[in-house]
Chains A and B, each alone.
Chain A
Amino acid sequence: NAGVTQTPKFQVLKTGQSMTLQCAQDMNHNSMYWYRQDPGMGLRLIYYSASEGTTDKGEVPNGYNVSRLNKREFSLRLESAAPSQTSVYFCASSETWGEQFFGPGTRLTVL
């Protein structure tokens, strides 16, 4: 089992460009999450999906959109990247009340 996979691992964008971060899990989990991690801020929840077909905003959703394509896949889209979105992005999945399993992260730099 691969667990949680994320692509790409690294990305550099120019301000105003768009991109989609991909996430997939093979553990048949209902819940999936997107976080960003900035120095000194811990992990902040961007969006989450409690089950296939549902998505909800987290703590810092502005500037992002998500799609829960199916039970396995949960993508995060930046429509018009800004330097403030420079961060490390983590995708995670879990059973309803279980621990979260994290992907390896995507390091995004917006110039």
Chain B
Amino acid sequence: AQKITQTQPGMFVQEKEAVTLDCTYDTSDPSYGLFWYKQPSSGEMIFLIYQGSYDQQNATEGRYSLNFQKARKSANLVISASQLGDSAMYFCAMREGSGYQKVTFGTGTKLQVIP
């Protein structure tokens, strides 16, 4: 079974609109962390936001917020007020606890912002 599933290979959004990128995860470990990374066409990986499994509130970082629904095992990324520079690949990732340092990535969503 996939540990991290991103079901949207590609998305379009109008500039200044909000967009939600979906991520579901699968783990039986009660202790885990969820991450979102951005990869522009230049290729570097940029950390955006983190949510711990015990965090009571949804994480926010500027225009990025993480809609964490623990019972549904989903960790969707919401980008508000999209900008042209947001066009990139977006990856969801999970680190599981129990002493592991293994981090598993999803296959990514390509977001294109339309002027």
Partners in one complex: yes
Whether the pair A99, B43 counts as a contact (CB closer than 8 A) is no
At the interface with chain B, which of A11-19, A41-49, A70-78, A79-87? A41-49
Select which of A40, A41, A99 is within 8 A of B35 by beta carbon.
Answer: A99
B47 interface residue (CB < 8 Å to A): yes
- For chain B, residues 4 to 34, give those with C-beta under 8 angstroms from any C-beta of chain A: 6, 33
A97 and B33 contact, CB distance less than 8 A: yes
Interface size class, chain A: 20 to 34
In the complex, A31 has a CB within 8 A of chain B: yes
Within 8 A of B (CB), among A38-97: 40-45, 48, 50, 56, 58-59, 88, 90, 92, 94, 96-97
Q: Check if B72 is an interface residue, CB within 8 A of chain A.
A: no
Interface assignment of B57: CB less than 8 Å from any CB of chain A: no
Q: Which residue of A lies closest to B50 (CB)?
A: A99
- Knowing A102-B45, A104-B43, say if A45 contacts B35 (CB, 8 Å): no
Q: Considering the chains assembled together, what is the distance between the CA atoms of A33 and B102 in angstroms? A: 9
State the Cβ distance, B87 to closest chain A Cβ, in Å.
18
Complex contact B47–A45 (CB within 8 A):
no
A100 at the interface (CB under 8 A from B): yes
Query: Assuming A40-B107, A42-B108, A102-B44, is B102 touching A97 (CB within 8 A)?
Result: no
